[in-house]
Amino acid sequence: MELRPYRATDRDDVYDVCVRTADGGGDARGQYTTDDFMPDLFAGPYLFLEPELAFVLDDGDRVVGYVLGTADTARWAAEHRARWLPRVAARYPLPDRGAGSPDPHPGRPATPQEGLTELLHHPERNVYAELAGYPAHLHIDVLPAHQGAGHGRALIRTFLAALRERGVPAVHLGMVTTNTPARAFYDRLGFHEIALEVPGLTFLGAPTDLAV
Residues 16-26: pLDDT tens digits?
999 999 998 89
Let me know the angle formed at the C-alpha of 200 by 101 and 67, rounded to the nearest 5 degrees: 115
Domains and CATH numbers, the chain: 2-169 (3.40.630.30)
* β partners of residue 176: 201
Spans of the chain, pLDDT less than 70: 97-109
Q: What is the pLDDT of residue 167?
A: 98
Q: What is the pLDDT of residue 112?
A: 85
